[in-house]
Chains A and B, each alone.
Chain A
């Protein structure tokens, strides 16, 4: 899933480590989400979006998620 995390981090001059500590995950998890290797859970997606003061849809791109 595509995300704007890297872009938002750069805008806020945040390192992956700092964001990871703020949302309670490891740096590797943030890296994996940024490079689209891992899909964040809903609580984590909420925490990340909330941290940047945005909604989940503004951070994560759900357009590629298959509809049932």
Chain B
């Protein structure tokens, strides 16, 4: 639980950093840049500001309330939930792998660029899987 408390404090500092960076970005674009921020960039900056502010408020409230902190800790460290997440990600990875293989084959006859892209994504995915497997082989 102490580790989790430290993580919450660390997250508050990260969120504060993000807030500062976002505000600096907004100030820079308002006063020093010829281009105004708009559209998707503005939405992303606003989303970062809102989520960072929300994270700071939530973590501070948790750090003050011991009972809520314990509940939250149990909720994120529950072994059954972790097992469910592992199983769900295993299943989704298998489905994604199958879809990429099928997509690569089907699109070979429709659009070769899409087919190559899917095969490349499949290759990258397999490399990442192999590397993470090797990492955990050494770690455990």
Using CB atoms and an 8 Å cutoff, list the residues of chain A in contact with chain B: 20-21, 24-26, 28-29, 32, 38, 40-41, 44
Q: What's the minimum C-beta distance from A23 to chain B, rounded to whole angstroms?
A: 9
Q: Is the CB of B80 within 8 A of A38?
A: yes
Q: Is the CB of B74 within 8 A of A21?
A: yes
Please measure, in the bound complex, the distance between the C-alpha atom of A24 and the C-alpha atom of B81, giving whole angstroms. 13
Q: What's the minimum C-beta distance from B136 to chain A, rounded to whole angstroms?
A: 18
Using CB atoms and an 8 Å cutoff, list the residues of chain B in contact with chain A: 70, 73-75, 77-81, 83
Please measure, in the bound complex, the distance between the C-alpha atom of A15 and the C-alpha atom of B81, giving whole angstroms. 20
Q: Is the CB of A20 within 8 A of B74?
A: yes
Give the tally of cross-chain contacts (CB within 8 A): 27
Closest to B1 in A: A24
Closest to B83 in A: A38
Q: What's the minimum C-beta distance from A35 to chain B, rounded to whole angstroms?
A: 12
Please measure, in the bound complex, the distance between the C-alpha atom of A46 and the C-alpha atom of B74, giving whole angstroms. 17
Q: Is the CB of A24 within 8 A of B77?
A: yes
Please measure, in the bound complex, the distance between the C-alpha atom of A38 and the C-alpha atom of B78, giving whole angstroms. 13
Q: Is the CB of A28 within 8 A of B80?
A: yes
Please measure, in the bound complex, the distance between the C-alpha atom of A29 and the C-alpha atom of B76, giving whole angstroms. 13
Please measure, in the bound complex, the distance between the C-alpha atom of A44 and the C-alpha atom of B80, giving whole angstroms. 11
Chain B positions within 8 Å of A28 at CB level: 78, 80
Chain A positions within 8 Å of B75 at CB level: 26
Q: What's the minimum C-beta distance from B61 to chain A, rounded to whole angstroms?
A: 20
Q: What's the minimum C-beta distance from A17 to chain B, rounded to whole angstroms?
A: 11
Please measure, in the bound complex, the distance between the C-alpha atom of A26 and the C-alpha atom of B74, giving whole angstroms. 6
Chain B positions within 8 Å of A38 at CB level: 80, 83
